[in-house]
């Protein structure tokens, strides 16, 4: 099996190719976003958020207030805000220089599961409108080092665009 590594410079180059490849048809966020969006309330618990992520196979949840307005975003990495994991060989990881054990992970889970989502969510949230061209979205994601962007229609979140979506688009463009 051949392995290919795509760098941010490669993505910048492909972004221009995607832009020019079909000038009569501008590809927008609406064309590629994942929708509908699974959201969570700011006052829900982190345990609720983790369960929602696992059940729906997502790595982030846009956080909404009582009026369904976007107020933050919670990612799987926000569950361990004060811990830094360092990759090791195979399936071993270290936590602050110590091996992570199932007991360590259970301790972390106990520590955060009853906290409210609004304690761990990131704010402010960078968003784009659903009419935004992919070239603009790509630029924003690369400049800000974002893995995902909520897509908005007026004040309502209508989708999510991820680096995975960008990679799929690039592969489609390369294949055609």
> Which domain range does residue 31 map to?
8-175
Considering only 2-16, 112-126, 147-161, 162-176, which range has the smallest mean pLDDT? 2-16
The predicted model gives 51-78 an average pLDDT of: 90
Separation of alpha carbons 100 and 104, rounded Å:
6
pLDDT in tens, 92-109: 455 444 555 556 656 666
pTM greater than 0.85: no
Q: What is the CATH number of the domain that holds 35?
A: 3.10.580.10
Tally of structural domains, the chain: 1
Confidence label for 20 from pLDDT (cuts 50, 70 and 90): very low
Q: Tell me if residue 116 falls in helix, strand or coil.
A: strand
Would you say 161 and 33 are in contact if contact means Cβ atoms under 8 Å apart? yes
Q: How far is CA 62 from CA 71, 107, 167, in A?
A: 8, 26, 22
Would you say 138 and 10 are in contact if contact means Cβ atoms under 8 Å apart? no
Q: CB 118: neighbour CB atoms within 10 A? A: 16
Q: Does a structural domain hold residue 86?
A: yes
The predicted model gives 48-61 an average pLDDT of: 90
Separation of alpha carbons 73 and 127, rounded Å:
11
Strand pairing of 60-64 and 40-41? parallel
């Amino acid at each position: 099996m051949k392995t290919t590594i795509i760098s941010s410079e490669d993505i910048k180059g492909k972004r221009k190719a995607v832009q020019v490849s079909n000038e009569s048809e501008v590809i927008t966020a609406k064309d590629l976003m994942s929708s509908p969006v699974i959201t969570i309330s700011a006052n829900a618990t982190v345990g609720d958020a983790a369960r929602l992520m696992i059940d729906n196979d997502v790595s982030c949840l846009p956080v909404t207030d009582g009026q369904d307005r976007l107020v933050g975003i919670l990612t799987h990495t926000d569950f361990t805000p004060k811990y830094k994991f360092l990759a090791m060989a195979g399936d071993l990881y270290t936590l602050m220089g110590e091996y992570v054990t199932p007991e360590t992970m259970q301790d972390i889970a106990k520590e955060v599961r009853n906290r409210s989502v609004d304690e761990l969510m990131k704010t402010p949230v960078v968003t784009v409108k659903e009419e935004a061209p992919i070239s603009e979205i790509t630029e924003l994601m690369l400049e800000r080092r974002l893995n995902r962007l909520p897509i908005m229609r007026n004040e309502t979140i209508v989708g999510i665009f991820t680096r995975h979506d960008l990679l799929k688009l690039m592969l489609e463009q390369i294949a055609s």
